[in-house]
Structure 1
Amino acid sequence: MAQPAADVLIIATLTGFAKMHAIQAAHFTAIGAFSEVVLGYFERDRKDYTKIPLREQVEVLSLIGDIATDRRAPKVHAHVVVGRADGAAHGGHLLEGRVWPTLELILSDVPQRLRRRTDPESGLALIDPAA
């Protein structure tokens, strides 16, 4: 279990952690809170994410993701559901989130190597089961 420090950007921190520890395949889950978060919704026609910024304190109700290699570098892929103060929930691809005050994250190494390859149809870097 890891507990990232308050006020860090979680995707950047996880990517740096994976590089530092040569992690090629992992799965993680987390709960906690963000002081701000940017969600992404993949627009199929544009083959790109629409950014959905929430510049307010939110609870991390569920965060799940993986780490795989993309061009020999670790790539973090995560989805999140966050709750606002009024109880409304918002979810999507986690582009970035600023931890505050805490994020309880459990990261498990995966014994197989996971590699991403760019899918020509979607333009996304997807896990290649044949790699």
Structure 2
Amino acid sequence: MKAKLLNEEGARTFALVFDTGDEFVSGLLDFARREKLASAHFAGIGAFERLTFGFFELEKKEYKKIGVNEQVEVLSLAGNIALYENELRVHAHVLVGKQDGTAHGGHLFEAHVRPTLELFLTELAVPLRRRMNEEVGIPLIDLSA
């Protein structure tokens, strides 16, 4: 993965380019730690050769994971980085298009890039923190923290 700082006045903005074989979620977390980011939001496009995404089943309070093991176009990728229990966490949603024109998407768990993924990331001025929401069963952003 390559990165370039585009703006450092106010909120820092970066362009990130992931290459074939890069794992997106772990690569983004490594970058965020290196740059000492506490919170950020991002959007990107590109392609994956395999990924795992999921659909949150509210009644069960768990994700139904769905694997895709074929080349897909990333039609939309959006998310944020926030702190949960003092660790950075990526929360991303993805929409991918298959060769037959169908689209699939959900909460992104992992994704392997091929041939590229282009991402623009903007640091947030105030750190965002997640807290476990027992009613829902997942950590949600807590604006009072």
TM-score, normalised relative to structure 1: 0.97
Q: Which amino acid aligns with 2:80?
A: D
Matched, 1:30 2:44: yes
Q: As a proportion of its length, which structure holds more strand?
A: 2
Aligned to 1:61: 75
Structure 2 counterpart SS, 1:79: strand
Paired with 1:101 and 1:124, the residues of 2 have a C-alpha distance of 33
Runs of 4 or more above 2 Å deviation:
none
Structure 1 contact 24–67 (Cα < 8 Å) conserved: yes
Q: Once superposed, what is the RMSD of the aligned Cα atoms? A: 0.8
Deviations 1:26-60 (A, max 9, x none): 00000000001111100112111111001000000
Matched, 1:48 2:62: yes
Deviation at 1:5, TM superposition (A): 2.3
Gaps of 5+ in 1: none
The structure with more radius of gyration: 2
Deviation at 1:113, TM superposition (A): 1.1
Q: Which amino acid aligns with 2:23?
A: L
Matched, 1:113 2:127: yes
Q: Figure out how many residues of one structure are paired with residues of the other and give that number.
A: 131
Paired with 2:35 and 2:87, the residues of 1 have a C-alpha distance of 12
Aligned to 1:20: 34
Identical pairs, percent: 47
